[in-house]
Structure 1
Amino acid sequence: MTTLDVAGLRAGFPSLDSGIAHFDGPGGTQTPAVVGQAIAHTLTGPLSNRGTAVLSQRNAEDAITGFRQALADLVGAEPGGIIYGRSATQLTYDLARTLAKSWSPGDEVVVSELDHDSNVRPWIQVAQAVGARVRWLRLDPATADLDLTGLDEVVTERTRVVAVTGASNLLGTRPAVARIAQRAHAVGALVHVDGVHLTAHSSVDIAALGADFYVCSPYKFFGPHCAALAADPALLESLRPDKLLPSSDAVPERFELGTLPYELMAGATAAVDVIAGIAPERDGRRERLSRAHDLIHAHELRLRSRIEGALTDLGERVVVHSRAADRTPTLFFTFTDRDAHDAADFLAARDVLAPAGTFYAHETFRALGLPVADGMRVGVAPYTDDADVDRLLTGLTDFFGD
């Protein structure tokens, strides 16, 4: 297979029969039937709390084991270092609170203006609680990328953790995470990477990124609403999160609060297998995932280029802020003489979903210095086809001609 079989992929998504052209993938993708079936099959059991004595217990155990292996294959981690979480926000808050137990006044944390607020506010809040200083990696609006010219002055011997996105959920920008991580590790700091947007569009290798901690959310890549954090099990062994006394102290269980939702874990595993199934000719799942993302990237890049060309044709009425050299197929743009929410409503009336807002990228929006409150975000997903793009572009043209 040299190109993505989009029609074949779309056939597995019942929701696409609705006729809606979805460009809201950065907020959450549609879900294949097999993922829903995996959730229902696991939930209706037999299912009990995990164990080995009877089938219902073993089914729970298998759901957990399958989840850890699938997410490990997806991001290049060890299964024993995969932590289940309700959301990336929850996992980041929990991690920040745990790490901050060892911080002191005068310590520093580094956050970026490119990040979703879930990878900014938790670090700022725990830093304030212990008297640590917050330092910033600034966004250059001209390039839509982080300005790393002063990286050595921002990340210093006093830095305890650097929190940075793998890809901006607003602009699509993929910053130089490996370069940032190299500097952080040189001064003994840890690196926490928000991979929620990146994982949906790229093959991930957390070792190559230099991520000590990496979070992602399966609902951004065909799965249910949940999240996972990946880290070296040895690093997790050194951390002592708050937990109930009778609950397991083993890694990664010590980080997972309460009974796990086995059905959601099974659904996440099924979602990873859907991606791997795009390249069935490869042997191992990790290899199939890598090849699948190559096919996905080529398809999404082609569609992104189509949309960018049409936005350029609209002239000065549209300002595209997604302009970094390395980025995902997500475009953020504002209008000089029209309201983005009006445009979103106009498109929605035609069953084209391209939402308007700031999308929790609070610091990014402020750093861009935009004269308007909101903009439109268009995200291409693997199941997006040319007919969807045609409807989006026709709708935008008609909106301005209205």
Structure 2
Amino acid sequence: MAYDVDSVRKQFPALADGAAHFDGPGGSQVPGVVGEAVAATLVSAVANRGSVTAAERRAEEIVTAARGAAADLVGGVPPGIVFGRSMTQLTYDFSRALAKNWRPGDEIVVTRLDHDANIRPWVQAAEARGCAVRWAGFDPATGELPVEAVTGLLSERTRLVAVTAASNLLGTRPDLAAITAKARAAGALSYVDGVHLTPHAPVDVTAIGADFYACSPYKFLGPHLGFVSARPALLETLRPDKLLPSTDAVPERFELGTLPYELLAGTTAAIDFLADLMPGNGSRRERLVRSMAELERYEEGLLRSLDDGLSAIPGVIRYGAPDRHRAPTVLFSLAEHDSADVYRALGARGVNAPAGSFYAVECTRHLGLGDAGAVRAGIAPYTNENDVQRLLDAVAELAW
């Protein structure tokens, strides 16, 4: 059975405003069931987690369910799921915890393809510990990050490699398995930013080889939250700063304060929604793999239409090579037009495709775009051919 985008779109109340949303890479729209799960939790009796009262048990059940759902989404295990306010906050927390074991002269590797949330926490932690930072560049012409650009920087002093699973600007998908395998052979840990890949493809953290895999539910139809998946045994080796009376158990030792139960309930609902994008039986993990694989195929078809259409418009400047396997994201500018003006003009036409660096400042600088960036159009599970045509028509109108 083919992916039924019309049925999917009916589940998103926000689409009633009539806009064509290409702003998903900054935060997706949310299906009604997610909002309902958040609201229901907010008005239910909940308390600090425990086993004595019904309110305590309900809170415990919500957390347990969310860990199970998150683990199913990325192929991890529930005791290895750490929740936090955002991917950025969690990465800062883990950078500080990991850096406690670094020594002057140790090295870390970061890439210029990454969002700053997977660069600056590591750079700042390294500087605080007297460690060296090695920078891996990508090919500005293709947007590709060659494996050797990262692995060629490894040494016996490398402690960590931070790399994106998919560029939030260009969609580039590095060969993670090859990179993490080389990092492991060198004795280094790998921290993978999965924020932009997770909404668009099946994820298996074991196959990827990531020691830490971070992502954000609000990019895959859920509420504003973040989580990291890691092996529980690895988490046991880390000693984060925490309050004296808070538990030392894993993964709770990394979760500062009371968890937002309503957002966890929304995250579970979002993951269940993704699992049911395609009909079929099986475990939630099996249904997620099947649904995300079909979603990936569907979005790749829309991406080809968008690539072809933009290539036919005079004055459109594309960044990255359209013939490469990537997440469904396009970065472009229009000759003799300021990208911020293009963004505003598209918005006035009901097409939401923002412009900027989107916090991937090292990437935009490496592309020669400075900090201003360009226009970004991202495809989401609710995007249809009509949306794509509206974007193309609007860009063509501006080009003439």
The AA in structure 2 aligned to 1:360 is Y
Q: Which runs of no fewer than 5 residues in structure 1 stay unpaired?
A: none
Q: Is the 8 A contact 1:137 1:147 kept in 2?
A: no
Q: State the match for 1:173 in structure 2.
A: 172
CA distance in 2, matches of 1:373, 1:355: 12
Q: TM-score, normalised by structure 1?
A: 0.97
Per-residue CA shift, 1:324-368, capped at 9, x if unaligned? Answer: 622011000122211111111111111110001111111111111
State how 1:3-402 maps to structure 2 within 5 Å: 3-315=2-314, 317-323=315-321, 325-370=324-369, 373-401=372-400
Per-residue CA shift, 1:152-176, capped at 9, x if unaligned? Answer: 4301111000000000000000011
Per-residue CA shift, 1:228-272, capped at 9, x if unaligned? Answer: 000000000011000001001000000000011111000000000
Give the stretch that moved more between structures: 37-46 or 224-233: 37-46
- Aligned identity (percent) is 54
The AA in structure 1 aligned to 2:317 is V
Q: Is the 8 A contact 1:42 1:59 kept in 2?
A: no
Q: Is the 8 A contact 2:144 2:320 kept in 1?
A: no
With over 3 angstroms needed to count, the CA separation of the structure-2 counterparts of 1:12 and 1:151, relative to structure 1, is closer
CA distance in 1, matches of 2:266, 2:31: 10
Q: TM-score, normalised by structure 2?
A: 0.98
CA distance in 2, matches of 1:49, 1:59: 9
Give the stretch that moved more between structures: 365-374 or 290-299: 365-374
For 2:147, what is the secondary structure of its paired residue?
coil
For 1:270, what is the secondary structure of its paired residue?
helix
Give the stretch that moved more between structures: 217-226 or 53-62: 53-62
CA RMSD of superposed structures (Å): 1.2
Q: Is the 8 A contact 2:364 2:370 kept in 1?
A: no
CA distance in 2, matches of 1:91, 1:150: 26
The AA in structure 2 aligned to 1:34 is V
Q: Is the 8 A contact 2:361 2:370 kept in 1?
A: no
The AA in structure 2 aligned to 1:287 is E
For 1:146, what is the secondary structure of its paired residue?
coil
For 2:330, what is the secondary structure of its paired residue?
strand
The AA in structure 1 aligned to 2:209 is G
CA distance in 2, matches of 1:135, 1:280: 46
Q: Is the 8 A contact 2:34 2:266 kept in 1?
A: yes
With over 3 angstroms needed to count, the CA separation of the structure-2 counterparts of 1:371 and 1:254, relative to structure 1, is closer
CA distance in 2, matches of 1:259, 1:102: 28
Q: Is the 8 A contact 1:175 1:326 kept in 2?
A: no
Per-residue CA shift, 1:56-81, capped at 9, x if unaligned? Answer: 11110011001100000000001000
The AA in structure 2 aligned to 1:117 is D
Q: Is the 8 A contact 1:332 1:376 kept in 2?
A: yes
Q: CA deviation at 1:279?
A: 2.2
CA distance in 2, matches of 1:151, 1:203: 24
Q: Is the 8 A contact 1:282 1:288 kept in 2?
A: yes
For 2:125, what is the secondary structure of its paired residue?
helix
Q: CA deviation at 1:150?
A: 4.9
With over 3 angstroms needed to count, the CA separation of the structure-2 counterparts of 1:158 and 1:372, relative to structure 1, is closer
Q: CA deviation at 1:149?
A: 3.3
CA distance in 1, matches of 2:148, 2:316: 30
The AA in structure 1 aligned to 2:29 is Q
Q: Is the 8 A contact 2:23 2:378 kept in 1?
A: yes
The AA in structure 2 aligned to 1:318 is V
Q: CA deviation at 1:373?
A: 2.9
Q: CA deviation at 1:280?
A: 3.1
The AA in structure 1 aligned to 2:372 is A
For 2:161, what is the secondary structure of its paired residue?
strand
With over 3 angstroms needed to count, the CA separation of the structure-2 counterparts of 1:54 and 1:152, relative to structure 1, is closer
CA distance in 1, matches of 2:152, 2:392: 44
Q: CA deviation at 1:370?
A: 3.1
Per-residue CA shift, 1:305-341, capped at 9, x if unaligned? Answer: 11111111113x1111132622011000122211111
Give the stretch that moved more between structures: 289-298 or 267-276: 289-298
With over 3 angstroms needed to count, the CA separation of the structure-2 counterparts of 1:119 and 1:255, relative to structure 1, is same
CA distance in 2, matches of 1:321, 1:245: 50
For 1:223, what is the secondary structure of its paired residue?
coil
Q: CA deviation at 1:151?
A: 4.1
Q: Is the 8 A contact 2:169 2:360 kept in 1?
A: yes
The AA in structure 2 aligned to 1:216 is C
Q: Which runs of no fewer than 5 residues in structure 2 stay unpaired?
A: none
| Deviation beyond 6 Å, 4+ runs, structure 1 | none
With over 3 angstroms needed to count, the CA separation of the structure-2 counterparts of 1:305 and 1:150, relative to structure 1, is closer
The AA in structure 1 aligned to 2:137 is R
The AA in structure 1 aligned to 2:316 is V
With over 3 angstroms needed to count, the CA separation of the structure-2 counterparts of 1:123 and 1:116, relative to structure 1, is same
